Structure 1
Amino acid sequence: MSIPVAVSTKRQQIAELVERFRDKPLLSLYSHLDEAWLDEALRRVRKNTAPGVDGQRVEEYAATWESRRPVLLDLLRGGEYRPPPVRRTFIPKADGRERPIGIPTVEDRVAQRAIAMLLEPLYEREFLDCSYGYRPKRSAHDAVKATRNALMERGAGLALEVDIRGFFDAVRHDRLREILDERLKDGAVRRIIHRWLKAGVLYDGCLSRPEDGTPQGGVISPLLANIYLHAVLDRWFENEVKPTLLGRAKLIRFADDFVIVFTDVTDAEGMRTRLEGRFADYGLELHPEKTRLVDLREPASRPDDDRDDSPGGAGLPRTFDYLGFTFYRGRTRRGNRTVIKVKTAASRLSRFLSKIAEWCRKCRHDPLDEQRDALARRLRGHFQYYGVTFNTPALWQVLHQTERLWFTWLSRRSQRARLLWQWFSSALTTRLRLPRPHACHPLF
């Protein structure tokens, strides 16, 4: 996505100010806001998101943008903008539970994007290389590759898989303000951020106001999460923890999901206690069941009493899931050594195929060409994310299962004329051909 020259120049100016005054907070970011800045903020707002409490969609809001823009600009520059409540809804999680999110109005999304665009050049110079989530030119695939590389280093293979319980709802506002105060003294921007943190939540006709937490679902929420965890975790781990370790260690974090890879077992075993102590000061808590130590070392590197791979055995777990992938140790094609491999996590695979089955059931009476196009879009999206080195067999499994599910529901369209697999399998090579998987994200 290209950025208009005027906006790009201003962002570069902010970055240069940060570099020039590295040890001093910035006082007047709001002065960079202008109409071109807000135009870019509106352009970056996703068009297909659900409406907020006012029921207005992006297209409807954009039609009145010329009259709304100067009013919004004055409110933001003066620090007088007051966000409306967010509409609470719930989305399913991989473990079957639901995640609460707050959906802002379109105008609030524009305002959040505008402020986020001010803060990004300020904090991008601060963030460490271990952070991959919601940052320019970084992705989940970069985090997956970094995790595998860390596990493949000589002597490594011990991984602490960490889950922060309800992170976005647990962020302490007073602590976040302290962290922001280190680099940001702009009163107008600080007031607006504080109001977002305290914005009301509308659910089932009832309005509530949070005491802690960040507005998950908002545009600015991932940036605030990165700012918080940069201070609470990344910087602390790099400056205070690593110098005290017996061996090497590497942190890989994507938003609030992170893994720490160790070479020394004593370091790995003691890290959980250190994290619990650190997080307690900032309102955070480790999930006791989902935080665990995993052993992916080469078999020759494990103790003799730690080689039981059977369920309930004495050994540590041999796999872990991170960012939708399962990390495990497997043999190379030649079979002469083992390496760290990744594959689609079973929960993600099952959830995707369940959605495909439900779609095929609902849409089985649609024209075949339309069904093919819709399934192709879903498969391309799946292949685009999960198409990494070592995972091609899982992708072919998804394709074949999708073809089978499609055939099953098409054959139920009529009780008189049963669909023959011979005809259908032939059509899959021509008219009904679906996209083929490939590894588009190399891990080495």
Structure 2
Amino acid sequence: GIPCVADRVVMAAAKAVLEPIFEADFLPTSYGFRPGLSAHHALETIRTIVNWRGKVWVLDADIRSCFDEIDSDALVAQIERRVCDRRMLKLLRGWLRAGVFEGGVVSVIEAGTPQGSPVSPLLANIALHVLDEAWAASGQRLGALVKYADDLVALCATREQAEEARELVAAVLDPIGLRVHPEKTRIVHVALGAEGFDFLGFHHRMRKSWRTGHWYLQKWPSKRAMAQVKAKIRDRTDRRYARLPLEWAVEDLNRVLRGWSNYFRYGNSAEKFDHIDAYINERLAILASTKHGLTGRNWVSRFNNQWVNQLGIYRLSGKVTRWPAHASR
């Protein structure tokens, strides 16, 4: 079950002890939940490898229910390779096998990491380290692996290498109780923009440069990311806000937009950012028309772009920038 406050404090302390030990072992293919690394380091690695090393066959793999299905015994065995303190191992076993109390019955959990725990991302990285090791030993000839927690892509030069990479990933994950999702795992040929793939919230696809005539991998918010932020905008501009000061809706929206912009501004997101700005204009105008009892499309001229700007809404347009070169791994 979800750990209580006291358990979370102990788990955070355990993470502080264990993390430096395993950080010494973790390999450059792993980016997720690691000190000094972010999703953007992984994304920049993908862009560089595809654009400058010609790895245009991509294994886009989806690990099914990773945090719920990691084999507890296999995970403890991984930890025992580096940790010999019996008290720490006993504590970890207890967390991994803690039951769920529901309807007066305690159900014992045989797999997965503690739900909502500060130590869960580290435990997942430890479990999946076997994949990084296997790739370092025999997968490097196939291409480059980029892994962020349970999300991963393998960047290969040929379809045959990508298919072999899929077999290698499946074979390594099986002993630790994990499977790649057969329907969500696919091999994509990104050359000449024929296909694209989604990874870490971005859609990745090659586009032709009008200046050089060459094709380069670019990225922008995926359809899912766009749908999610639009749902949040709708939620904060629905009819219940019509009875409240408009400034309250703007304040809520600005929190959402700043966070979303700070993540997606590193990429080729200008077109998507403009789309969201236009969507915000429309939603705020509809909200204001509801507030003032206007019908039809009378709000189009009255609640225009200038009016929206005067509200102090956070604008996405102009926020796109490059990932700083010095921040690359």
Would you say 1:164 and 2:43 are equivalent positions? no
Query: Cα offset for 1:353?
Result: 0.4
SS at match of 1:371: helix
CA distance in 2, matches of 1:204, 1:409: 44
Query: Cα offset for 1:241?
Result: 2.6
Partner of 1:428: 308
Query: Cα offset for 1:297?
Result: 2.3
- Deviation string, structure 1 residues 201-255 (Cα, Å, up to 9, x no partner): 2456653220111123211100000011112x0011111332xx3xx51111100
2:204 pairs with 308, 314, 327, which one?
327
Partner of 2:289: 411
SS at match of 1:178: helix
Would you say 1:297 and 2:191 are equivalent positions? yes
Would you say 1:442 and 2:323 are equivalent positions? yes
**Superposition pairs of residues 29-68 of structure 1, within 5 angstroms:** none
**Superposition pairs of residues 357-376 of structure 1, within 5 angstroms:** 357-361=234-238, 362-376=240-254
Kindly indicate whether the alpha-carbon contact (under 8 Å) linking 1:428 and 1:434 is maintained by their aligned counterparts in 2: no
Kindly indicate whether the alpha-carbon contact (under 8 Å) linking 1:251 and 1:258 is maintained by their aligned counterparts in 2: yes
SS at match of 2:316: coil
Partner of 1:382: 260
Instruction: Describe the shift of the 1:416–1:253 C-alpha distance in structure 2 as closer, same or farther (beyond 3 A).
Output: closer
Query: Cα offset for 1:417?
Result: 8.1
CA distance in 2, matches of 1:173, 1:355: 37
CA distance in 1, matches of 2:190, 2:24: 34
Instruction: Describe the shift of the 1:332–1:202 C-alpha distance in structure 2 as closer, same or farther (beyond 3 A).
Output: farther
Q: Which runs of 4+ in 1 moved over 3 A?
A: 202-207, 416-423
SS at match of 2:291: coil
SS at match of 2:216: strand
Query: Cα offset for 1:170?
Result: 1.4
Instruction: Describe the shift of the 1:416–1:171 C-alpha distance in structure 2 as closer, same or farther (beyond 3 A).
Output: closer
* Count, aligned residues: 321
Kindly indicate whether the alpha-carbon contact (under 8 Å) linking 1:157 and 1:295 is maintained by their aligned counterparts in 2: yes
Partner of 2:134: 236
Instruction: Describe the shift of the 1:417–1:171 C-alpha distance in structure 2 as closer, same or farther (beyond 3 A).
Output: closer
Kindly indicate whether the alpha-carbon contact (under 8 Å) linking 1:388 and 1:440 is maintained by their aligned counterparts in 2: yes
User: Counterpart amino acid of 2:190?
Assistant: L
Query: TM-score when scaled to structure 2?
Result: 0.91
Instruction: Describe the shift of the 1:417–1:347 C-alpha distance in structure 2 as closer, same or farther (beyond 3 A).
Output: closer
Kindly indicate whether the alpha-carbon contact (under 8 Å) linking 2:192 and 2:208 is maintained by their aligned counterparts in 1: no
Would you say 1:398 and 2:276 are equivalent positions? yes
CA distance in 1, matches of 2:101, 2:236: 31
Instruction: Describe the shift of the 1:206–1:353 C-alpha distance in structure 2 as closer, same or farther (beyond 3 A).
Output: farther
User: Counterpart amino acid of 1:277?
Assistant: A
User: Counterpart amino acid of 2:272?
Assistant: A
Partner of 1:211: 110
- Deviation string, structure 1 residues 169-196 (Cα, Å, up to 9, x no partner): 2111111111111100011111111110
2:4 pairs with 105, 108, 129, which one?
105
Partner of 2:176: 282
SS at match of 2:218: strand
Query: Cα offset for 1:416?
Result: 5.7
Kindly indicate whether the alpha-carbon contact (under 8 Å) linking 1:134 and 1:255 is maintained by their aligned counterparts in 2: yes
Would you say 1:257 and 2:151 are equivalent positions? yes
Kindly indicate whether the alpha-carbon contact (under 8 Å) linking 1:145 and 1:443 is maintained by their aligned counterparts in 2: no
Comparing 109-118 and 149-158, the one that deviates more: 149-158
Query: TM-score when scaled to structure 1?
Result: 0.68
Structure 2: 5+ residue stretches without partners: none
Would you say 1:145 and 2:50 are equivalent positions? no
Instruction: Describe the shift of the 1:111–1:338 C-alpha distance in structure 2 as closer, same or farther (beyond 3 A).
Output: same
Kindly indicate whether the alpha-carbon contact (under 8 Å) linking 1:388 and 1:443 is maintained by their aligned counterparts in 2: no
User: Counterpart amino acid of 2:274?
Assistant: W
Kindly indicate whether the alpha-carbon contact (under 8 Å) linking 2:56 and 2:158 is maintained by their aligned counterparts in 1: no
Would you say 1:348 and 2:225 are equivalent positions? yes
Comparing 331-340 and 127-136, the one that deviates more: 331-340
CA radius of gyration, larger in: 1
Query: Cα offset for 1:358?
Result: 2.1
SS at match of 1:360: coil
Instruction: Describe the shift of the 1:212–1:349 C-alpha distance in structure 2 as closer, same or farther (beyond 3 A).
Output: same
Query: Cα offset for 1:336?
Result: 1.6
Partner of 1:97: none
**Superposition pairs of residues 188-207 of structure 1, within 5 angstroms:** 188-203=87-102, 206-207=105-106
Instruction: Describe the shift of the 1:423–1:202 C-alpha distance in structure 2 as closer, same or farther (beyond 3 A).
Output: farther
Instruction: Describe the shift of the 1:414–1:284 C-alpha distance in structure 2 as closer, same or farther (beyond 3 A).
Output: same
Instruction: Describe the shift of the 1:375–1:252 C-alpha distance in structure 2 as closer, same or farther (beyond 3 A).
Output: same
Instruction: Describe the shift of the 1:223–1:416 C-alpha distance in structure 2 as closer, same or farther (beyond 3 A).
Output: closer
CA distance in 2, matches of 1:195, 1:182: 18
Would you say 1:222 and 2:121 are equivalent positions? yes
- Deviation string, structure 1 residues 132-162 (Cα, Å, up to 9, x no partner): 1111111111111111112113331111000
- Deviation string, structure 1 residues 78-108 (Cα, Å, up to 9, x no partner): xxxxxxxx3xxxxxxxxxxxxxxxx321111
CA distance in 1, matches of 2:47, 2:60: 13
Query: Cα offset for 1:367?
Result: 0.8
Point out which structure has higher relative CO (alpha carbons under 8 A, 6+ apart). Answer: 2
Comparing 249-258 and 426-435, the one that deviates more: 426-435
SS at match of 2:80: helix
CA distance in 2, matches of 1:192, 1:440: 45
